[in-house]
Amino acid sequence: MKILVTGGTGYIGSHMVVELLNEGHEVIIIDSLVNSKIEVLNKIQEIAKKTPIFYQENLTDHTALEEIFKNHSFDLVIHFAGLKSVSESVEKPLLYYQNNLASTINLLDCMQNHKIKKIIFSSSATVYGGSNESECIETMPTGQNITNPYGKTKCMIEEILKDVCISDPEFSAIALRYFNPIGNHSSGLIGENPNGIPNNLMPYIMKVAAGELETLSIYGNDYNTPDGTCRRDFIHVVDLAKGHLAAIPALEAPGFKTYNLGTGTPTSVLEMVNTFEKISGRPLPHQFAPRRPGDLAEIWANPSKAERELGWQTKLTIEDAIRDTLTFLENTRKIW
């Protein structure tokens, strides 16, 4: 199939492109490179031995997007492109609403103009907000008590997709709700490498391991959880990409569908640190710090719908993710 991947040089997008190329699909990437580097394309080529077509464009540029749609007849679209920093979105809400919503609307408009009726959207567990059970099921209400504009854009885009499906009975949209993606391709050639001080746990651990930051602060050890630290459902990014592959056949049935992509098992922040130390064989400097505003004590996926309907479940462990992270770190920078 001929597949458009927006945000295809980003952390999750690049892993998706590798899986699609390995499966024999033809891939066209659109990425603005705002949060990724062009070198990723060479790494994708090195792993998959195939090259995707690449356009450096911002999806907010409707004219440029329309031009690309004129040149290719896509079978489906996988939409990753978007700004994703929770803290930045609190500081610059308009940037997030403008960028993430306008991009998606432009994309859907071009799809409509060219009669492309299948899309998989990169959604997030954040849509469940803060007023649900810790174990999330797709039937739970979404959109309540989401603490930041980034999370709200995910929820709003799900609503937009729902409405497009209502307006066009042939349109098919799947929102995949990711839990906490970690790890990278086992080659260690691609991975997550954010600029500056990261917000997310694993990138922060990586910078401490590489000696670029001194100490990891564990935000809160007084939560009502087994060891007092928050618990999350950390999913290996390769398993996550494979979840998208499994969702492609489900696009044959029109309508809007959602699936959780997670392992179903929570791991605490402290367990993650301890496992990282065990596998790397080195201490990871860390200290307890006050709770981070907006954090939930615990949240994990009930992944049974994806298992039942898509025949997908995770295969890789946290240990695998940490091993692959260490390989990526060795390839990209000195450790300790």
- Could you list the active site residues? 150
Candidates 2, 5, 17, 150; CA nearest to 87 is 150
Of positions 194, 219, 265, 277, contacts ligand UD1 by CB under 6 A: 219
- To ligand UD1, the closest distance from the beta carbon of 61 in angstroms equals 25
Neighbour count for residue 163 (Cβ, 10 Å): 13
Residue 26: phi, psi to the nearest 5?
-95, 130
The contact pattern for ligand UD1, residues 53-82, with x = CB under 6 A and - = no contact, is: ------------------------------
Q: Are 264 and 301 in contact (CB under 8 A)?
A: yes
Residue 265 interacts with ligand UD1 (CB under 6 A)? Answer: no
Q: Are 224 and 295 in contact (CB under 8 A)?
A: no
> Which residue number, 216 or 306, has a Cβ lying nearer to ligand UD1?
216
**Letter string b/e over residues 293-303, b meaning 16 or more CB atoms within 10 A of that residue's CB:** eebbbbbbbbb
> Which residue number, 68 or 176, has a Cβ lying nearer to ligand UD1?
176
Neighbour count for residue 278 (Cβ, 10 Å): 11
> Which residue number, 31 or 57, has a Cβ lying nearer to ligand UD1?
31
Q: Are 150 and 156 in contact (CB under 8 A)?
A: no
- To ligand UD1, the closest distance from the beta carbon of 219 in angstroms equals 4
Sign of CA dihedral 30, 160, 110, 98: negative
Map the footprint of ligand UD1 across residues 127-156, applying CB under 6 A: 148, 151
| H or E, element range at 298 | strand 298-301
| Residue 287 DSSP code | E
Map the footprint of ligand UD1 across residues 86-115, applying CB under 6 A: 86
- To ligand UD1, the closest distance from the beta carbon of 85 in angstroms equals 7
- To ligand UD1, the closest distance from the beta carbon of 139 in angstroms equals 20
Helix (H, G, I), strand (E, B) or coil at 180: strand
Distance separating alpha carbons of residues 157 and 160, to the nearest angstrom: 5
Map the footprint of ligand UD1 across residues 224-263, applying CB under 6 A: 230, 232
Of positions 6, 100, 126, 225, contacts ligand UD1 by CB under 6 A: 126
Map the footprint of ligand UD1 across residues 157-216, applying CB under 6 A: 180, 199-201, 204, 216
* 183 CA to centre of own chain: 12
Residue 122 interacts with ligand UD1 (CB under 6 A)? Answer: no
- To ligand UD1, the closest distance from the beta carbon of 291 in angstroms equals 7
- To ligand UD1, the closest distance from the beta carbon of 7 in angstroms equals 13
- To ligand UD1, the closest distance from the beta carbon of 32 in angstroms equals 18
For the chain, the first-to-last Cα distance in angstroms comes to: 44
Strands 118-124 and 172-178: parallel
Residue 218 interacts with ligand UD1 (CB under 6 A)? Answer: yes
Map the footprint of ligand UD1 across residues 295-324, applying CB under 6 A: 295
> Which residue number, 146 or 251, has a Cβ lying nearer to ligand UD1?
146
Sign of CA dihedral 93, 95, 100, 105: positive
Residue 294 interacts with ligand UD1 (CB under 6 A)? Answer: yes
Distance separating alpha carbons of residues 255 and 259, to the nearest angstrom: 13
Please give the size of the binding site for ligand UD1, defined by CB under 6 A.
21
Q: Which residues bind ligand UD1 (CB under 6 A)?
A: 84, 86, 124, 126, 148, 151, 180, 199-201, 204, 216-219, 230, 232, 269, 292, 294-295
